Amino acid sequence: MKKLTNPLVSVIIPVYNAGSTLSIALNSLARQTYTNLEIVVVNDASTDNSEDLIKYFTGIFEKRGIAAKALNHSQNQGVSTSRNTGLESASGDYIGYLDADDWMEPNAIELMVNEAIQKDADIVGCNWLLSFEQKERKMSQPSFASPQEAIQKIINGTLRWNLWLFLVRRSLYLNSNIRFIPGMNIGEDLRVMVKLLLEASRVCYIDKALYHYGQSNLQSLTKTFSCEHIRQITANVKDVEENVRKSSIASEIKESLPFLKQHIKLPLLISDHEEMYRTWLKWFPEVNRIVMSNGALPLRNRILQWLAVKEQFWAIKLYYRGVVRLVYGKIYK
């Protein structure tokens, strides 16, 4: 494969009724120091002022010499279909994603592209910031030097799999026809990111916080899992298991797959609702017996799960009210 010197980067932004935050997201792209960009905005039948903002920023991009595509769905179809629409239209050498309520550092794409060129990498990852109304917290990713190491850390629960943290060579999507499953909008990043890593030859990581993940309040951090959410996540986890098991990846990684199920349901315990704890007990119950086995996780997370197994729900509530609410509700508010 010919080494690229000035690759075109397509950034895909799915939009649905994001008028209150979209300007910040798109302005962060207009301010990028790397300008060989193709901005692909997919308006998923928004009913607010999102379309007007997209038109406004499309003009700004064009004035800066940045290619911009504004695509529209006639009916709301969800983020997975929106990302597929963006992928079908994208022509860049690399693909990146930006959610409509987040934003990037001005040099984010330049730094990631430079790393991709230097290492001839298929995938480049970076660090990120959890951003509240007034303060931010750096959420450090662990480093990884190979696709197998990245997959192992995703399974262990130490590496986030969100697509907005990675710049990915578009040919990985094309060669194996990797797409999102329409209607499967929860946990889709996990399934797609693992597939991309299984296809990649060279990966690298930048220890710089380049992406701002917007959170307006504590409630947006501690999301409620509905039955439909659990159904979709379970299907995506099953897909990951099947793809990893049939791959040529190291056997010890395959053997650690139960840790992924442990980690995926951990957010149910970041709550003060007992029904969430009981849902945790019933979801992937086969991994409850090994809650203390994943040494890659912080001890507090393992203890929290051990308390759930023992149905010591009072202690989980105490942790939530004394630690989570204090840290995210007060300190980082």
pLDDT at 56: 96
Q: What is the pTM of this model?
A: 0.93
Up-side HSE of residue 53: CA atoms within 13 Å toward CB?
A: 23
Polymer length in residues for the chain: 333
Residue matched to tokens 């239209």: 89
CB 169 within 8 A of CB 158: no
* pLDDT tens readout for residues 58-73: 999 999 999 999 999 9
User: How far is the C-alpha of 4 from the C-alpha of 117, rounded, in Å?
Assistant: 6
pLDDT at 322: 83
pLDDT at 333: 54
The DSSP secondary-structure symbol of 93 reads S
pLDDT at 329: 60
E-only strand ranges, 88-191: 94-97, 103-104, 123-131, 136-139, 166-169
- Which residues make Cβ contacts (< 8 Å) with residue 6, sequence separation at least 6? 36
Instruction: Give me the DSSP letters along 238-290.
Output: HHHHHHHHTSSS-HHHHHTTHHHHHHHHGGGGSSS-HHHHHHHHHSSGGGGGG
User: How far is the C-alpha of 225 from the C-alpha of 150, rounded, in Å?
Assistant: 27
User: How far is the C-alpha of 157 from the C-alpha of 151, rounded, in Å?
Assistant: 10
Question: In terms of Cα–Cα distance, which of 196, 271, 182, 192 is closest to 236?
Answer: 192
Distances (CA, A) of 260 to 159, 161, 194, 210, 309: 11, 12, 12, 26, 17
Low-confidence residues in the chain, pLDDT < 50: 217-222
pLDDT at 1: 55
- Which residues make Cβ contacts (< 8 Å) with residue 59, sequence separation at least 6? none
pLDDT at 317: 94
